[in-house]
Amino acid sequence: MIIEMSKLRILGPRERLEDVLRVLQDLSLLHLSAPEAVPLAHPELSPVQERERRHLRDALDNVEQALSALAVGENGSAAPGTVTPADQVRWARLAWRTRRETDRLTAQAAALEEERALIMKYQHFFSAFRSLLESESRWPNAQAYHVLLRGREAGTLPRLRASLAAVIGEEFQLFSQALPSGELAVLIVVSAQVAGRVERLLAEARVQEIPVPEAYGGKSLSVAIPRMLERLGKIPREMEDIRRRGQELARAHGADLRRARAALHDRLQALAALPLSGVTTRAFVLEGWVPARARHDLERGLRTAFGEDVVVSEVAKEEWESEQAPVVLANPRLLRPFETLVSLMPLPRYGSIDPTPFVAVFFPAFFGLMVGDVGYGLLLAALGLVLHARAKPGTTLRNISEIIGPCALFTIIAGFLFGELFGDLGQRWLGLRPLLFDRAEALVPFLLLAVAIGAVHVVLGLVLGVVSARRHPRQALGRGVSAAMVVLVIVGLLAAVGVLPRGFFSPVVIALLVGFPVLIVLEGLVAPIEFLATLGNILSYARIMALGVASVMMAVVANKMVGAIGSVTVGILFALLFHLVNFAIAAFTPTIHALRLHYVEFFGKFFSPGGVRYQPFRHWTRAAADRRAAPLTPGNPRQAA
């Protein structure tokens, strides 16, 4: 349900505005909204406050960057009770110093990583040229060239040798070794006198010489490789040293930085709240929303802090539109996990209907009817228990695990109704008999059951539409007529096929003929089309039967594999695999379709999206910031209050 809100007006002397805001922030109850009365001005920040805000933002940026670089967790991030300007200055300095230090460490780590990556590029050459380098060392006054021949150029090695012989005679040595990449590492050692001619030859032949990094000793790999290997050995120690210094920083300043972040956010929020007040030369006015049940807590808190200086009064309901009020969903513990499914849609407007209780009943029922198997239900329950054990309270995963529970229960119940345990295995092995009907055989009864459930669900949606439009009589009457006509069509059909007495048929047709013009008058020319769409919506519930039959057929096919394949063991393995696939499909497809039946067919009849989330003016916390960053998730009243 959507809990009742009160709109409050707080009046007081202007010089106490900031103090009142501080107390309101401590109370964490009031969702501020700017007062709209004409003589009031909305105070702008003074130049000093503007400068303070700029500094706070810079400091906060430094804090966030430093915390991110230090990978500091979220524990204990509450702001300290009293924050003085001296605290702010100290935190700003600390944040600046820590950020500078973390930036330096990050840059050092990046440089080391880059260096390691560069050296690793040469790793194949290390082994390939190690033996060649020993050959090079035997030629003290020689010039060495390290070249790389690609695989397809490997045939050029003899030609290279011939060309060298043609240019410089026999004054060279040529060594080669294949690399794992398929390339050929070649070392050419020549006397220093003929080096120029060899370089020209290599350039003309477009033979690629391996570039030697300058940082490791200039031109020769024979000098560079030992140095590179030495550096490669040192880099992990240096990285570890950087990591250790980061940990020391986190230990020394992490807690302070977390407190600083919360306090800086708090102060920024307080500054942002100032323009939401209205002021005259001597007084201020604050307006906002509070859950009706928490109104007295807020009044008591302000009275304790300010006595008679500050007055709180409730704004009469006639003075505000329900669309302006923020929304808090509050449901019993058992239903609350289903708020996750409702939160996938925009928040409902204040004064409209929270569909969570209906989703909590119908979603597991639809899911159960589609899967309808005792075995799959038990597997699902086990999956839900595992998820429940692993998920932390309050997380989406925990909510999903708590939704799985009722879904598994309805699946098991439907499994008994249809006599299914891993398809027809229950019938064959345990003598399980359907209490209702066998889905694999009774297609038409299952179809009728699905459509009947659809009719109930859609008519319920129309009735809720009438209730939610109660403040707009014409709209409510139109929806009521539409709902009545849907019921008449169903009654007429049942009378036509003989389920109900045939005497009902003629009056129903007459009532429908009368209802159509009334509907057009109330809802316009589009009403008949919408009426037909509503009938289409009911037929859409046939998907419950379609997916149910598909599920049981898959399970039956899986069981038949044991006999169909020659080897029993292979057959059992195939059957298990097929059941696993069917279970995976059964876990996802019915979820999507049950959601779709709610979002399109059911919600479309009454749901009014566009509600404003209740966001009380409060102290900053990581969790609250995350909730604000997720625009489709409604606030949790318990967390809010």
Partner 1 sequence: MSPFLITLAAALAVGIPALATAWAQSRIGPAIAASMAEKPELSTTAILLVAIPETMVILGFVVAVVILVRGG
Interface residues toward partner 1, by CB under 8 A: 344-345, 443-444, 447, 539-540, 542-543, 545-547, 592-593, 595-596, 599-600, 631-632
Nearer to partner 1, 261 or 593 (CB): 593
Nearer to partner 1, 276 or 443 (CB): 443
How many of the other CB atoms lie within 10 Å of CB of 303? 14
CB of 317 vs partner 1, minimal distance in Å: 32
How many of the other CB atoms lie within 10 Å of CB of 389? 9
Nearer to partner 1, 23 or 553 (CB): 553
CA distance 239 to 383: 42
Nearer to partner 1, 270 or 448 (CB): 448
CB of 454 vs partner 1, minimal distance in Å: 12
CA distance 351 to 373: 40
CB of 447 vs partner 1, minimal distance in Å: 6
Q: Which amino acid is at 478?
A: G
Q: Report yes or no: 270 and 20 within 8 Å, Cβ to Cβ.
A: no
Q: What Cα–Cα distance (Å) separates residue 1 from each residue in 331, 332, 476?
A: 6, 9, 20
DSSP 157-198: HHHHHHHHHHHHTT-EEEEEEE-TTS-EEEEEEEEGGGHHHH
Judged by phi (left if over 0) then psi (alpha if -120 to 50, else beta), residue 481 lies in alpha
Q: What is the DSSP letter of 338?
A: G
Q: Does residue 371 sit in helix, strand or coil?
A: helix
CB of 59 vs partner 1, minimal distance in Å: 30
Nearer to partner 1, 250 or 594 (CB): 594
Kindly give the pairing relationship between strand 172-178 and strand 612-613. Answer: unpaired
CB of 418 vs partner 1, minimal distance in Å: 17
CB of 596 vs partner 1, minimal distance in Å: 4
Q: What angle do CA 37, 39, 44 make, to 5 degrees?
A: 90
Contacts of 103 (CB under 8 A, 6+ apart): 65, 69
CB of 590 vs partner 1, minimal distance in Å: 11
Nearer to partner 1, 81 or 498 (CB): 498
CB of 544 vs partner 1, minimal distance in Å: 9
Q: Does residue 219 sit in helix, strand or coil?
A: coil
Q: How many CA atoms lie within 13 A of 194 on its CB side?
A: 18
CB of 445 vs partner 1, minimal distance in Å: 11
Contacts of 355 (CB under 8 A, 6+ apart): 342, 348, 464, 598, 602, 603, 606, 607
Q: Report yes or no: 125 and 210 within 8 Å, Cβ to Cβ.
A: yes
CB of 350 vs partner 1, minimal distance in Å: 21
CA distance 498 to 516: 25
DSSP 441-501: T-HHHHHHHHHHHHHHHHHHHHHHHHHHTTTSHHHHHHHHHHHHHHHHHHHHHHHHTTSS-
Nearer to partner 1, 147 or 538 (CB): 538
CB of 540 vs partner 1, minimal distance in Å: 6
CB of 455 vs partner 1, minimal distance in Å: 15
Nearer to partner 1, 217 or 346 (CB): 346
CA distance 280 to 13: 9
* Residue written as token pair 């390339």: 183
CB of 381 vs partner 1, minimal distance in Å: 25
CA distance 503 to 495: 8
Nearer to partner 1, 292 or 630 (CB): 630
Nearer to partner 1, 23 or 400 (CB): 400
Nearer to partner 1, 316 or 444 (CB): 444
176 phi and psi angles, rounded to 5 deg: -140, 155
Nearer to partner 1, 444 or 529 (CB): 444
CA distance 432 to 125: 71
Q: Report yes or no: 26 and 619 within 8 Å, Cβ to Cβ.
A: yes
CB of 549 vs partner 1, minimal distance in Å: 8
* Tokens encoding 52: 């303070």
CA distance 335 to 362: 12
Q: What is the DSSP letter of 611?
A: P
Nearer to partner 1, 311 or 542 (CB): 542
Nearer to partner 1, 132 or 586 (CB): 586
CB of 354 vs partner 1, minimal distance in Å: 17
Nearer to partner 1, 144 or 552 (CB): 552
* Tokens encoding 298: 């807020």
Q: What Cα–Cα distance (Å) separates residue 366 from each residue in 95, 157, 419, 449, 632?
A: 54, 74, 17, 11, 25
Nearer to partner 1, 221 or 549 (CB): 549
Q: Does residue 577 sit in helix, strand or coil?
A: helix
Q: Find, among 297, 292, 362, 296, the residue nearest to 330 by Cα.
A: 292
CB of 271 vs partner 1, minimal distance in Å: 29
